Structures are given as structure tokens and as C-alpha cells.
Amino acid sequence: MCIVFMYVSNCGKKPVKSTKYKPATYKLIIASNRDEMYTRPSKSAYFWENNDSHILAGQDLKELGTWLGISKRGKLAVLLNVNGACSPSNLRKPSSNESGETASRGSLVTGFLRTPPGLAAWTYCTSLCQDLENLDIRKLYKPFHLITIDIRGRNCDCNGTK
């Protein structure tokens, strides 16, 4: 089972009616595990190269996707596999290639991290389901949860401005 723990500080804001205020040391803490296919080759977190130099993430060396990443554009994404899940009867088994493998879910994380700075996380996720006839993620991928966060979204007030 994939597990993620995320802590986001209050961005140094003083709590109401508090005289004992200490600013947060860390703005973001993430703890996660990668529990699928331990023998699959992967690379520890690093800044990717070329057009993806804004991405900090580990990398699946077989499919070139990732399970967790953050970008200098303020994008954060985490993929959680859902193993042994009971699928609703209306969902079909994911399509597989000749070797029996389904599409890599890590491309969903990479896709979000590559989006332009102004694109909201919900817009990206919604776009994955827009054309169900040609791109049905229920058919392409094994079950998963995809967490996408735009750290610089309009509700973030870490710099004292909105």
C-alpha cells in the first residue's frame, strides 16, 4: 500500500491570541513510500535535465515517469497505487500491451509537473477525463490516487499577499 504524509506550515503566520509564537522551520514536509516493484530500476530525487530542469523528483528508469515530484513552478504531485482494490462492475480491466503491462501511471505525475505556471491542479485532473471516448483513464491505468497541488495557487498566502 502506498502511503503519504504531508505537513504544510502556517507559512509563518501568527496564530490569533498567541504571545508564544515561533515561526515554522519547514514550510513543507513530505514522507512517502514507494512500495511497488522494488526491483524496478529507479533514480533517487534529483533535478531533471533539459526541458524538465524545473522538476525535482525520483525517476522510474523503465518508463521515465515518477511517483512524487515538485517543480520550481510551484507544482507538487504524488501518485498512490491502489493494490487489490475492488473495482466497480462498470469499470473494465485496464488495457495492456503485448507483454501484459498497462500504461505507466507515473506519466500522470510528470504531466502535471510539466504544466505551465498558471494552470490549476483541478484543471489538469479534469482534463484527464474530458474525452472519455479516446482517453479513459479507467481503461489505461491500474487503480490509483493522484494528488496534485499548485503551491502558488490563489489561496496560498505564504508571502503575505493573495
Cα distance between residue 32 and residue 43, in whole Å:
15
Per the domain annotation, does 69 fall within a domain? yes
Per the domain annotation, does 50 fall within a domain? yes
> Are 124 and 148 a contacting pair, CB within 8 Å?
yes
pLDDT in tens, 56-103: 999 999 999 999 999 999 899 999 888 765 554 444 444 554 444 568
Total domains in the fold of the chain:
1
Per the domain annotation, does 32 fall within a domain? no
Supply the pTM of this predicted model.
0.74
pLDDT in tens, 102-148: 688 999 999 999 999 888 898 998 888 776 666 677 778 888 889 99
Question: Can you tell me whether residue 1 is helix, strand or coil?
Answer: coil
Per the domain annotation, does 75 fall within a domain? yes
CA angle at 119 for the pair 114 and 121, rounded to the nearest 5° = 85
* Residue 159 region by backbone torsions, left for phi larger than 0, else alpha for psi between -120 and 50, else beta: alpha
Q: Which residue has the cell 504544466?
A: 115
Per the domain annotation, does 13 fall within a domain? no
Per the domain annotation, does 117 fall within a domain? yes
